[in-house]
Amino acid sequence: MKQLEIDNLHFELMIDENQIQKRIRLIGTDINHRYEQKNPVFIGVLNGCFMFMTDLLKQVVIPCEISFVKLASYEGTDQGKMSELIGLGIDLQGRDVIIVEDIVDSGNSLKYTIEAIERQLPASVVVCTLLLKPECLQYDFENIQYVGFEIEKEFVVGYGMDYNGLGRNIPDIYKNIIV
């Protein structure tokens, strides 16, 4: 089993790059079919989505637009308090929007992102996430349309996800293990 260490935390391979790419091809095929005549807007939530969104959009062959946003949190408060969505510089009124996330766990940031986008009155909003932790969700989301993999309450790194800023560039996904 492949393992790695980041800042004294130990990780073992959870999902390899080939599995990730196979799943992304399937999601891309579905998006191409569903949005064939619609010209959707893909909105990636940085920083974690960059690898997933890049590989996903290599599979999307229909006309589309791409934008990125970043969430800012209130300083000195818990992670559940978002202050603003930075970078949404595109008019979404009447558009079909696909939010691209690396991972959805509690759902706090996703809820904030969806609400900010819905204020612009898009035609539709769906979510495409590489990883979903169903046990951790604090909200019900009817618009999570595409899920790469459902995982347990594990701490993961790689493929855009980090630990202390490290590990985003790893092509596989690793889960934390207790040594």
Q: Which residues are catalytic?
A: 105
Residue 147, H or E segment: strand 144-150
Smallest CA-to-CA distance from 161 within 66, 34, 48, 30 is with 48
Sheet bearing 173-177, strands edge to edge: 3-6, 9-15, 173-177, 156-157
Letter string b/e over residues 28-39, b meaning 16 or more CB atoms within 10 A of that residue's CB: beebeebbeeee
| Strand pairing category for 156-157 and 173-177 | antiparallel
Token pair listed for 43: 């909105």
- Whole-number Å distance between alpha carbons of 49 and 53: 6
Smallest CA-to-CA distance from 159 within 1, 42, 11, 40 is with 11
